[in-house]
Each structure stands twice: as structure tokens, then as C-alpha cells.
Structure 1
Amino acid sequence: MMWWHWLSVIGSVAVTGPIGIVIMVWLLTGKSWRLSIIWAALYGAGMALVVASKLAFIGWGIGVASLQFAGFSGHAMRAAAVFPVLGFLLTRSLPSWQRHLGPAVGVVLSVLIALSRIYTWSHSPSEAYTGCLLGLAVAFAFIWYASAERDLTFSRMLVMLCLPVLVVAPQFKPVPTERWITKAALYLSGRDQPYTSAIWYGPRSRLR
């Protein structure tokens, strides 16, 4: 269980948020203006879909009961968006076959993080899998655009900025994003109480 919990923490906002910002900073310092805009747009769109799906369920009960889907997993989406891209950037200057290793490791880590959300009873399989697929779509769309760039240069600063995040962030107090989304959903819907998965699975459900 501790293994799954650790993986779940790696997908938290405290870790993936700063890595997403580091990627943006690295692109900007490399004067890759077009890729900076593309990354911001893709990552922002992915996050917007996650938040919108959660708001829809918490505020209005909009979901798919048959699939136990109450919104995309934010952990799974963020992890699948940033780690393959991080791996792509770190291995871009390596020989041809090694360039595929970075994104592949990122994909494997992303899938494990998505599974951790299921094994820690934080999300249903459909929420974790769809969140992961959404994040991978963001990552591969960016990698497709970035692969056409010939003047991208590797910077060791990226590694130096990311490693402290991975080491220190698990010690931080979790960011209360779910609480913020719940407050926003209640405000927008005018409800006093949020919808929960108990409306589908009963009060004994451990899913959130």
C-alpha cells in the first residue's frame, strides 16, 4: 500500500504542477516561443477538462453511473501530460534509439500513477484510465509538434530544477484542490451539499 501511496503523491499537484512550469520555463529560456504557447494551450486544455468534469458532477450530478465515472482523475491526467514530455526533452539530444526511452519511461510511470489512484481507493478505474488517456493525448500532441523543431537545445538546468521537486514535494502538505473545486461547484450550482458517488454506489462506497 505504501508503494501505491508514494506513486499517488508523485502525481499530485505539488509535484506535477511545478514540473509543468519548469517545462514552460525551459521552453521560454530556449526561445521556443511557438512550443511554449502550444504547451501552455495543451496542458491548460487538459486541466480545464479535468476541472469541468469534476464541477459537472459535484455541482449537478453529471456523470456516467454505468462506468462509475464522476470526472477525470487529475493525478492521472497531470502525470501522463508532464512525465512523457519531460522524458522527451531530457533524451532529445541522445542517439536515435535512446530518444524513445525517455517518453517510454514517462508513459510507464504515468500508467503506474493512474493505477495507484485505483488501489488507494481515490478513483474508479474509468476515472483513472480516462484521466491517463487525456494526459497522454496532451503529451503526445506536444511531442508531435516538438519533434519537428530542429533548434531545440538540451539544458541540464531542467534536470537540476526537476530533481529537487521529486525529492522534496512528497513531504509537502497536499494541495486542497478537491476542496477548492467543491466550493466552486457549490457556488456555481447554488447547492448546499455536493453530489458524491454515494448516489450511485450507496453510502458504503469508498470511492470519491
Structure 2
Amino acid sequence: MMLTNLADSAVLAPAALAIAIWLAASRAWRLATLWCALFGVGVVMVAATKIAFIGWGLGVRSLNFTGISGHTMLATAVYPTILWLVLQRYRPAVRNTGAALGLLFGVIVGLSRLVLHAHSPSEVVAGCLWGAVVSIGFIALSQLRSLPALHPLMFVCSLLLIGAVLYGTRAPSQRLIIRTALALSGHHEPYIRVTWRMRGTGRNQPAHAAPVCRDGLSGT
């Protein structure tokens, strides 16, 4: 739970916003725009896969895939980017090592989701890959431009403040996704993993299944 809480959207969404604000404050407008675009695409893709499953039951039964792991995507997108920016004054090998450690931490977060039975392996792998696309894409494109004059200490302090204030908070993202999926699909009940998998195997299933939603630990 400690690792999972470090990757909750209640913590990492504000951290991602802080990255954009610091880049903009450093007059790195293009980098700030680039980060917002890449991060936004990453979040939209996670939400889209979850909405598709919850609203219409779209997934891959053979892989037990019902949507990209949001915690894992956020961790592998945000933490490598933070470390790379904090270490920008060091030589490239050091910066790249920091980014690699950030990716490794994202993978560890993904393992925590498996331990908590919040996601299947395929969903965690998808989260790792999609988050890596965001962070590595930003890092690669950033090297084509001059680096911003960020103040590493103040940047880190602002992120630590965000973590200290919001750690342990559960964002209502899953409830919002469920409501959006039901509104778009016109269905009264969301698809859930258990009955969805039973339908794929041809086994009998109850006529009505109440939705299962635990913020931060949803099986979707």
C-alpha cells in the first residue's frame, strides 16, 4: 500500500502539474507544452481503455485485460521525468541513470498492484510501457532543445511538499470513470471483471451483479 499510495493520481497528477509549472516558470514554454501534451495523452489513453471496458465490456479475455493500470502508468511517466529534470546539471550518463531508476520504481509500483490483486499482469505491463512512452518521449525530445534553468532544490522541495500533503489521499478518479462510462454507454450497471470472464468461458452467471469499486484498488 505504501508503494501504491506513492503512485495515486491524488499525488502524481499534482506532481505532473508542478513539472509543467516549473518548466513554464523557467521560460521553457515549449517543454512545458510538450510535457502537458505527452502526459495528457497518457492519461486519456488509460481512461479510454477503462471506459471502454466498464461501459461496453471491451477487453482481452485471453490476457485478462480490462484497462491500462493507471498507477503504473503515472509512476513510470512522472518519476523518471522528475529525476531527469532534477539531475539536469549533471552529465548525460547521470541524468539517464536517474531516469532509469525512475522507470525501475514504476515497475516496482506495478508489482505492488499485482500483490494487491488490483490488476492483471497484462494491465501492469501495459501501464509500464505506456508510462515509459511518456517519460522517455519527453526526455528524448527535450534533448533537442536547451535545458531549462530549474533550481533543483526548490523543485524538489515543492514536490516533497505535494507528497507530504497528499500522500495517502485517494483520488475519486475511478468513480468518475465509472460515471462517465455509464453515461456514454447508457447502461445502468458497469461491466466487472468476474462476470465478464465468466461470460467468456460460457459459465453461468447471475442476472445482476452489483458493481465492485474500491478507490485505488479497483479490479478495473
TM-score by length of 2: 0.87
Aligned length: 202
- Which whole-Å CA distance do the structure 2 matches of 1:184 and 1:98 have between them? 43
- Which whole-Å CA distance do the structure 2 matches of 1:47 and 1:77 have between them? 8
Does the residue aligned with 2:167 lie in a helix, a strand or coil?
helix
- Which whole-Å CA distance do the structure 1 matches of 2:178 and 2:33 have between them? 30
Query: Could you list the runs of 5+ residues in structure 2 that have no partner in the other structure?
Result: 199-204, 206-217
Does the residue aligned with 1:62 lie in a helix, a strand or coil?
coil
**Aligned match of 2:42:** 46
Give the one of 98, 102, 106 matched to 1:106. 102
Give the one of 137, 140, 144 matched to 1:141. 137
- Which whole-Å CA distance do the structure 1 matches of 2:219 and 2:68 have between them? 13
Deviation at residue 136 of structure 1 after TM alignment: 0.5
- Which whole-Å CA distance do the structure 1 matches of 2:166 and 2:74 have between them? 15
**2:21 counterpart of 1:21:** no
**2:137 counterpart of 1:162:** no
- Which whole-Å CA distance do the structure 1 matches of 2:20 and 2:163 have between them? 17
Give the one of 91, 105, 110 matched to 2:87. 91
Any conservation in 2 of the 1:91–1:101 contact (CA below 8 Å)?
Answer: no
Any conservation in 2 of the 1:30–1:153 contact (CA below 8 Å)?
Answer: yes
**Aligned match of 2:61:** 65
TM-score by length of 1: 0.91
- Which whole-Å CA distance do the structure 2 matches of 1:41 and 1:171 have between them? 27
Question: Whose helix proportion is higher, 1 or 2?
Answer: 1
- The percentage of counterpart residues that share the same residue type is 37
Deviation at residue 33 of structure 1 after TM alignment: 1.1
Give the one of 162, 167, 171 matched to 2:168. 171
Any conservation in 1 of the 2:60–2:66 contact (CA below 8 Å)?
Answer: yes
Q: Deviations for 1:176-206, whole angstroms, at most 9, x for unmatched residues?
A: 2111110111111111110011124448xx9
**Aligned match of 2:201:** none
**Aligned match of 1:12:** 8
Any conservation in 1 of the 2:84–2:139 contact (CA below 8 Å)?
Answer: yes
Query: Could you list the runs of 5+ residues in structure 1 that have no partner in the other structure?
Result: none
